[in-house]
Amino acid sequence: MPASPFPPDATLADVGEFAFIAALDEVFEQGEQVLVGPGDDAAVLRVRTGHVVVSTDLMVEGRHFRRDWAGAADVGARAAAQNLSDVNAMGGTAHSLTIGLAAPADLPASWALDFARGFAEECAKVGASVVGGDMARSETLVIAVTVLGACTVAPVLRSGAEPGDVVALAGRQGWAAGGLAVLGRGFRSPRALVEAYRRPEPPYGAGRVAADAGATAMIDVSDGLLADARHVAVASGVSIDVRRDAFEVAEPLHAVGSALGADPIQFILGGGDDHPLLACFPSAGDVPEGWQVIGSVGPADPRTGPGVTVDGGEYEGPTGWTHF
């Protein structure tokens, strides 16, 4: 990271909103779609596709991140990643984002700047620009991101899965949940899992590949693999069965499972911080490279309705995250 232009101990209140925002000029490069960038009442973006994909996500300190568990740049990268991933899950690519930063007056200005730098780094992975935002003083640190993007083919919704489809996953799954479990118990290793939690690596581009390959339904895994599979099942009016043996449990997950006395498969089935994509395809032959079959779609259970099973039966472990 480059040096901070602010004194080492300076807070946001010391620096002031306008000086802080001025320092962002060199952090946020503007793409060719940006007709009017940050600094006016609104940004103006060129849209050549005839549509825009838009999504908003919140991150709250103490609930979605902790400053002692991840550096500012990591938090910034994660805030960007979870939004870029939402566009990925529609089969599209993000081009522009806005950031709302509600922050305590004593937040170090260098933390906020490193946050912005990490955010910009993640956006650069897909060529997206930060085109605007807002700052406000708040006791609780809250980050609100809105992402705009575009699809090249029709967007892939949650609601298109059909009985007979196969279910596939793109991207690493369970590593971030393992890292979170480790951090929650005061450990810092295995390093690979902690890093996976701090800097998820969503499979950018895999959504577009899936859309091109004829995916019938798709979702970003952010609440938890089974919880998000359930969102697809309910939206599509189907049942989804996930097979445990479809997942190779990586060595560090085995290590954490042993250390914590937990079945490591629960990080995979319940975790939601890696932001892989889950999609359905008409047949195994349609599943593109980079995607791995993990289950199948059947008709909704006539008694219990749409839902998710594991190896044909009910799953007893945690399936994901509750927001309230």
140 is in an annotated binding site: no
Q: Per rule CB under 8 A, is residue 77 in the interface with a second copy? A: no
Would you say 132 or 171 has its CB closer to a second copy?
Answer: 132
Query: 3-state SS string over 129-161?
Result: EEEEEEEEECCCCEEEEEEEEEECCCCCCCCCC
Neighbours of 12 (CB within 10 A): 23
Q: What does DSSP assign to residue 245?
A: G
69 within 8 A of 166, measured Cβ to Cβ = no
Measured N-to-C along each axis, helices 17-24 and 109-124 cross at an angle, to the nearest 10 degrees, of 30
Quote the CA–CA distance of 69 and 62 in Å, as a whole number.
Answer: 10
Q: Per rule CB under 8 A, is residue 64 in the interface with a second copy? A: yes
Among 73, 123, 151, 209, binds a second copy (CB under 8 A): 151
Structure-block tokens of residue 200: 């998820």
Which three-class secondary structure state does DSSP give residue 65? Answer: strand
Nearest alpha carbon to residue 276 among 266, 286, 291, 263: 291
Would you say 106 or 314 has its CB closer to a second copy?
Answer: 106
Residue list 254-313, contact with a second copy (CB under 8 A): none
Binding mask 78-117 for a second copy (x = CB under 8 A): --------xx-xx-x---x-xxxxx--x------------
Size of the site for a second copy (CB under 8 A): 73
Residue list 190-249, contact with a second copy (CB under 8 A): 218-220, 235
Among 12, 27, 79, 126, binds a second copy (CB under 8 A): 12
Shortest distance (Å) from residue 39 CB to a second copy: 7
Residue 113 buriedness (CB in 10 A; 0-12 / 13-18 / 19+)? buried
Residue list 119-148, contact with a second copy (CB under 8 A): 131-140, 142, 144, 146-148
Would you say 96 or 216 has its CB closer to a second copy?
Answer: 96
Would you say 77 or 97 has its CB closer to a second copy?
Answer: 97
Q: Per rule CB under 8 A, is residue 7 in the interface with a second copy? A: no
Shortest distance (Å) from residue 208 CB to a second copy: 14
- Residue numbers belonging to the annotated binding site for substrate: 64, 273, 321
